[in-house]
Amino acid sequence: MSLVRQRIGRFAYGADYNPEQWPESVQDEDMALMKRAGVNLVSVGIFSWARVEPAPGEYDFGWCDRVLDRLSGNGIAVCLATMTASPPPWLARLHPDSLPRRADGTTLWPGSRQHYCPSSPTYRAHAARLVERLAERYAGHPALALWHINNEYGHRNARCYCDVSAQAFRDWLATRYGSVDALNEAWSTTFWSQRYGEFAEVFPPRTAPTFQNPAQLLDFRRFSSDALLECFLMEAEIVRRHTPEVPVTTNFVGGWFQIDNSAWAPHQDVISFDSYPDPHDPGTVPEAAYRYDLMRSLGGGKPWLLLEQAPSAVNWRDRNAAKAPDLLRLWSYQAVARGADAIMFFQWRQSRGGAERFHSAMVPHGGPGTRTYREAAGLGAELGGLTELLGSRVEAETALVMDWSSGWALENEAHPVGDLTQEETSLAHYRPLWEAGIGTDVVSPKADLSGYRLVVVPNLYLTEPEAAENLIEYVRGGGHLVLSFFSGIVDACDRVHLGGYPGPFRDLLGLRIEEFWPLLADWSAPLAFADGTRGTGNTWSEWITPAGAEVLATFADGDLAGRPAITRHAFGDGVAYYLGTRPDPETMGSVLRRVTAAAGVRPVAPDLPAGVEATVRRSADGTRWLFLLNHNAFELTVPLPEGAVDALTGHPLGTTSELSRRGVLIARLPG
């Protein structure tokens, strides 16, 4: 049964609830307003460590007891945080060695949050002691629906370079490589006289005169993710021991990739995500869609929880846009459309003081008589009617490949192009699929790909043999694959695959690349397609020699004129396409249209106007739910399949429907 249905009974709706910031008397109003807004789940205690442990080993849970009792008395469930994300000031005073350090040696002091070194035994011991007490105390509490471990691991302290971390890094390396000789081999340390005589000589990649060892940089990112994962697992073990029936999660964060979510995902009972699209940014909607697809895919397609989003403006950008009318609703449904079974906000009541006093909340400074509260309450009422949707899965025929190690290595220094980022390249390939309404999962290169008609692989710079084999076998077995430049270049230690690029994919693609010819940032490369059409590429060009591949497009001028830019190669029972440049958005769109048509990939709903996002969720009983989201600020008409019923009103729909500006339609389709 769906986790949310089991734990909450309804679509989960709520916010971070920080009543410790207010006199207790405010809680009466909180309860009344929560009920009016349809709130049924709140995250409690995320930053409450100093409140419940005011001095080392002295606990005062009275406040927390009363909050939990009050919530359960009002029928509101709790996602209880383990409170370890912001240690109390006394920890830093007594144990300054628990503070994290940057690569340049700067200590990160208390006065903000996340000021702990993930490898610090002192931090871990104090955190474990607190979590033990919490879990013991609240085991069996009727409000406890879910554990929220720590908060946004790695947001501000992902990599710590202090002496404690240095020793932990050495231990991690000793386990990974077994001997210092193996480390030297893996890190190519004969280069620039970096050869180590013993592990004790190794440091984290602290600030250095020039380019650092790429394998060291990469391993330090892996180590840092693992160090935080150890913290997570330590806490998860404690709460699971006390409350084996209560699911455990931690909130992942989008926009950067500090921790390897794919390695963490198997340890979550449910995937949770914090999402902060920027209303000022025209690219924010497909970006959010991409991240939601990634989160859903991390959980193997199971529903996930949107644990945080802003009801309106955030406070941490240079210019913080408010959400225009109906955007709170539209963007919440975007997460639902992409598989979320919970919609939560940061936070319930807007802070009066502290660094987030200008961050929006469900109850703004102006109180409940505000647009934000009204819109939030309206959404809460609606979601209450969508219980049937819980547990349904998003349909996807296409997969986009993403790998953390490869992304980290791609972003290392001293490359042919210095500004390629994983997120940007993933999005450049994802956006046209989103625009075309094509259901897409975001998966590891080692994932089972057999269920997909099409697999798109943006710049998989680091390619391990197992990943290469998986992609090759997928095509051999009849799959359609698109692979873009600077893929298959290095191994897990950032050492180049020899014999001509892209080492492991040459036969698959039927070509060989001898040299990279990157383009300056403001250049574009005209492309001539074999069918007479034109296009442009940017960022990259290269010297490709076909060895069996059919040339779909050539570079149209300059020294590469007439040489291949985009190719197609029949391989086994499938087809592998190769992009030797970054097609501009329009060209990428037309290339992917051709490829999806050849692969038999269909949009989830045909003939939609631009700016209308579409997905389909399918329930276990076969019921299909079509989501149509109008991201335009004007009304329009959308076509619908016959027999559709409006899931929000229960009314039958015709074969077209009006969709208001920023409007949402959820249509239950005939089975």
Query: Is 152 one of the binding residues for ligand GAL (CB under 6 A)?
Result: yes
314 binding ligand GAL? (CB under 6 A)? yes
149 binds ligand GAL (CB under 6 A): no
CA distances from 344 to 276, 437, 530, 566 (A): 12, 26, 50, 44
* Minimum CB distance to ligand GAL smaller for 172 or for 273: 273
Name 453's Cβ contacts closer than 8 Å, sequence gap at least 6. 397, 398, 479, 480, 599, 600, 601
Query: Using an 8 Å Cβ cutoff, are 478 and 492 in contact?
Result: no
Q: Alpha helix (H) ranges present in 451-572?
A: 465-476, 506-509
> What backbone phi and psi angles, to 5 degrees, belong to 14?
170, -145
In the residue annotation, 201 being an active-site residue is answered as: no
| Least Cβ distance, residue 10 to ligand GAL (angstroms) | 24
The beta strand positions in 474-533, using DSSP E, are 480-484, 511-516, 525-529
Number of residues that bind ligand GAL (CB under 6 A): 11
Return the DSSP state at 611: T
Q: Which two tokens stand for residue 325?
A: 């009318």
Of the residues 53, 152, 235, 435, only one is catalytic, namely 152
C-alpha 313 chain-centroid distance: 21
Nearer to ligand GAL, 274 or 464 (CB): 274
Between 49 and 187, CB nearer to ligand GAL: 49
CA distance 397 to 433: 11
Classify burial at 526, counting beta carbons within 10 Å of its beta carbon; exposed 0-12, middle 13-18, buried 19 or more.
middle
Which residue's CB is nearer to ligand GAL, number 47 or number 486?
Answer: 47
Counting contacts by CB under 6 A, is residue 276 touching ligand GAL?
yes
167 or 351, CB closer to ligand GAL?
351
151 binds ligand GAL (CB under 6 A): yes
Q: Does 613 bind ligand GAL (CB under 6 A)?
A: no
Residue 440 as a binder of ligand GAL (CB under 6 A): the answer is no
In whole angstroms, give the CA distance from residue 513 to residue 508. 13
Shortest distance, position 295 Cβ to ligand GAL, whole Å: 15
Least Cβ distance, residue 356 to ligand GAL (angstroms):
6
Stretch that binds ligand GAL, among 151-159, 239-247, 365-373, 418-426 (CB under 6 A): 151-159
Opening angle at CA 45, ends 39 and 51, nearest 5: 140
Q: Which contiguous run of DSSP H or E holds residue 538?
A: strand 534-538
Nearer Cβ to ligand GAL (46/217): 46
Q: Residue 278, interface with ligand GAL (CB under 6 A)?
A: no
**Binding segment toward ligand GAL, per CB under 6 A, in 32-40, 291-299, 308-316, 331-339:** 308-316
Report how far residue 269's alpha carbon sits from residue 147's, in angstroms, rounded to the nearest whole number: 10
177 binds ligand GAL (CB under 6 A): no
Active site residue 308: yes
Closest contact distance (angstroms) between CB of 309 and ligand GAL is 9
Our finding on whether 274 is near ligand GAL (CB under 6 A) is yes
Longest dimension (CA), the chain: 77
Q: Rounded distance, CA 293 to CA 306, Å?
A: 12
CA distance 113 to 129: 19
- Please identify which residue in the block is written with the tokens 């996930």: 304
Q: Are strands 340-345 and 12-17 parallel, antiparallel or unpaired?
A: parallel
Q: What is the 3 state secondary structure string of 647-662?
A: CCCCCECCCEEEECCC
Phi and psi angles of residue 224, each rounded to the nearest 5 degrees, phi first: -65, -40
Compute the least distance from the CB of residue 307 to ligand GAL, in Å: 8
Give the side-chain half-sphere CA count within 13 A for 566. 27
Enter the tokens of residue 411. Answer: 């972003």
Q: 232 or 505: whose CB is closer to ligand GAL?
A: 232
CA 176 to chain centre: 27
Which entry of 53, 235, 287, 308 is annotated as an active-site residue?
308
Nearer to ligand GAL, 274 or 397 (CB): 274
| Among the residue ranges 307-315, 485-493, 522-530, 591-599, the one whose residues contact ligand GAL (CB under 6 A) | 307-315
Residue 574 CB-half CA count within 13 A: 24
Q: Closest separation between CB of residue 531 and ligand GAL, Å?
A: 48
Distances (CA, A) of 415 to 421, 439, 523, 555, 603: 12, 33, 18, 22, 37
Q: Which is nearer to ligand GAL, 151 or 392 (CB)?
A: 151
> Cβ 21 to ligand GAL, closest distance in Å?
12
Amino acid type, 5: R
Spatial separation of the C-alpha atoms in residues 523 and 556, rounded to whole Å: 14
Which range, of 149-157, 166-174, 393-401, 591-599, touches ligand GAL by CB under 6 A?
149-157
Closest CB to ligand GAL among 273 and 430? 273
Of the pair 33, 310, the CB lying nearest ligand GAL is at 310
Token pair, residue 179, equals 């001997």
Let me know how many helices (H) and strands (E) the chain has, helices first: 18, 28
308 binds ligand GAL (CB under 6 A): yes
Q: Does 226 bind ligand GAL (CB under 6 A)?
A: no
Label residue 397 left, alpha or beta by phi (over 0 means left) and psi (-120 to 50 means alpha): alpha
Three-state SS at 142: coil
Q: Dihedral of CA 585/591/596/602: which sign? A: positive
The owner of tokens 């502290």 is: 354
Q: Which residues in the 359-398 window bind ligand GAL by CB under 6 A? A: 359
For the bound state, the minimum distance from the C-beta of residue 340 to ligand GAL, rounded and expressed in Å, comes to: 17
Decide if 20 contacts 61 (C-beta within 8 A). no
Q: How far is the CB of 556 from ligand GAL (least distance, A)?
A: 46
For residue 401, the Cα-to-chain-centroid distance in whole angstroms is 13
The correct pick among 17, 346, 452, 486 for binding ligand GAL (CB under 6 A) is: 346
Q: How far is the CB of 155 from ligand GAL (least distance, A)?
A: 6
214 vs 364 by CB, closer to ligand GAL: 364
Binding site for ligand GAL (CB under 6 A): 151-152, 155, 274, 276, 308, 310, 314, 346, 356, 359
Active site residues: 152, 308
